[in-house]
Amino acid sequence: MLRLLTAGESHGKSLVGVLEGLPAGVPISPKEIAGELARRRHGHGRSGRQKLETDRFEIHSGVRHGRTLGSPIAVTIDNAEWEQKYRELMSVEGDADPDEKLTRPRPGHADLAGVQKYGFDDVRNVLERASARETAMRVALGVFCKAFLAELGIDVVSHVVRIGSVAVGGSDVPGPEDLEAIDSSPVRCFDDDAGAKMVEEIDRVRKEHDTIGGVFEVLAYGCPPGLGSHVQYDRKLDAQLALALMSIQSVKGVEVGDGFATASRPGSEAHDEISEGLRRTTARAGGIEGGMSTGEPIRVRAAMKPFSTVPKALSTIDLRTGKGDVAIAQRTDVCAVPAGGVVGESAVAFVLAGAVLEKFGGDSLVETRRNLDGYVAGLGISPGRS
Ligand SMILES: Cc1cc2nc3c(=O)[nH]c(=O)nc-3n(C[C@H](O)[C@H](O)[C@H](O)COP(=O)(O)O)c2cc1C
């Protein structure tokens, strides 16, 4: 079983992550992790913090001389502002300064339900952990999952398909070879014209002191048929992907394949007919049927809401006085859908790596690959590259 755990507060000393269950022999270079963390910081619409953060990370265990050992992988990412700004505020010792307490919960955040649930009088005790800073660690650990999958011929790629009212036209989907071009777009959009309009949309919203959401799509190429299973609800691959994507801060909708659009189509136009070579003539189901991969490319989408820390602050109640006020305004992104896509790739890579290990096992990469190759040879097919 592949397990991933993160710990750490947004302005605490460090984020901590553990990934357990990845086989031995997966090649890993710190450069790849630095590159993926930089991709998460990228994107038109991010706040000043992204420029501040350099994401200094360290691999503490589970890797030796550039390859995984099969033992738990532990990674930390430091908070660049810890020494100068947060050492006192986030100290593990002493009492909180009453003047520093945050008592105006932000609508749309974990703030109010969190203080009610845990019995706090300081919203910071909640917002520090609820923050999407945590996704930096998911991305760092996702690098290991992606590296494992890549060794098995499985590649994961994401792109932005909507920012606010601007959506990509047509139904072209990028392949792994397009990732560089996508990353060079300020909004990680595969369609240059739509990308330019998305930039304008973000600039317009920024001028209006507002925030804006959107939709990213994640594709996985090279998966064999049979990842996941129809036999139990929590073994279904689509269910696992939905959980992983929905757990990303601000994601409010997940689609597999054509998802919601399928609901308005007749059955004769909603499915992917089977043709020679057991390939499909269309890609409506997103490469998953009955909770299992079909061997066609996997395609999922996630909708991110506009961020709730709106610069023109929303109304709330000050918990100290019980009177109406405006919500606390922390440094905020206008839009982070491009970054959401990078986090989404990590979420999908983690689920697929787990599903591969469930099906093929293996304590070493060589063993997993042998088992996978034997299975695919037995099926007499080549999994969906196109
Ligand atoms: C990469 C990324 C960056 C985010 N940055 C912000 C931000 O700057 N301001 C904000 O209000 N929300 C931001 N969020 C979303 C909040 O963390 C999230 O809305 C909040 O924790 C409440 O969770 P929920 O929306 O999933 O219910 C970000 C999310 C992601 C994935």
For residue 386, tell me if it sits in a domain: no
With a 6 Å cutoff on the Cβ, whether 131 touches ligand 1 is yes
Cross-strand partners of 18? 5, 74
Between the CA of 89 and the centroid of ligand 1 the distance, in Å, is 22
For residue 141, tell me if it sits in a domain: yes
With a 6 Å cutoff on the Cβ, whether 248 touches ligand 1 is yes
Q: What is the pLDDT of residue 172?
A: 85
Are the C-beta atoms of 76 and 85 separated by less than 8 Å?
Answer: no
Domain of 121?
Answer: 3-379
With a 6 Å cutoff on the Cβ, whether 215 touches ligand 1 is no
Q: What is the pLDDT of residue 49?
A: 59
With a 6 Å cutoff on the Cβ, whether 112 touches ligand 1 is no
Q: What is the pLDDT of residue 96?
A: 87
What does the alpha-carbon distance between residue 291 and residue 293 come to, in Å, rounded to a whole number? 7
For residue 80, tell me if it sits in a domain: yes
For residue 384, tell me if it sits in a domain: no
Q: What is the pLDDT of residue 381?
A: 77
Nearest to 222 by CA among 347, 313, 324, 353: 353
For residue 385, tell me if it sits in a domain: no
With a 6 Å cutoff on the Cβ, whether 330 touches ligand 1 is no
What does the alpha-carbon distance between residue 130 and residue 10 come to, in Å, rounded to a whole number? 8
For residue 169, tell me if it sits in a domain: yes
What does the alpha-carbon distance between residue 113 and residue 35 come to, in Å, rounded to a whole number? 36
Q: What is the pLDDT of residue 193?
A: 96
For residue 139, tell me if it sits in a domain: yes
Q: What is the pLDDT of residue 162?
A: 98
Q: What is the pLDDT of residue 386?
A: 46
Cross-strand partners of 302? 216, 254
**Pocket-testing residue among 133, 246, 250, 305, ligand 1, by greatest number of atoms within 8 A of Cβ:** 250
Handedness of CA 310, 311, 314, 318 (dihedral sign): positive
Give the residue whose CA is nearest to atom 28 of ligand 1: 132
Between the CA of 246 and the centroid of ligand 1 the distance, in Å, is 12
Over the chain (386 residues), the average pLDDT of each successive run of 10 is: 97 98 97 96 81 82 98 97 94 92 97 98 97 98 98 98 95 93 97 97 95 98 98 98 98 98 96 94 97 97 96 93 90 93 98 98 98 95 60
With a 6 Å cutoff on the Cβ, whether 10 touches ligand 1 is no
Between the CA of 332 and the centroid of ligand 1 the distance, in Å, is 9
For residue 60, tell me if it sits in a domain: yes
**Number of structural domains, the chain?**
1
CA atoms within 13 A of residue 52's CA, in its CB half-sphere: 13
Q: What is the pLDDT of residue 369?
A: 98
What does the alpha-carbon distance between residue 11 and residue 13 come to, in Å, rounded to a whole number? 7
Paired tokens of 253: 């909708």
CATH number where 41 lies? 3.60.150.10
Are the C-beta atoms of 142 and 36 separated by less than 8 Å?
Answer: yes
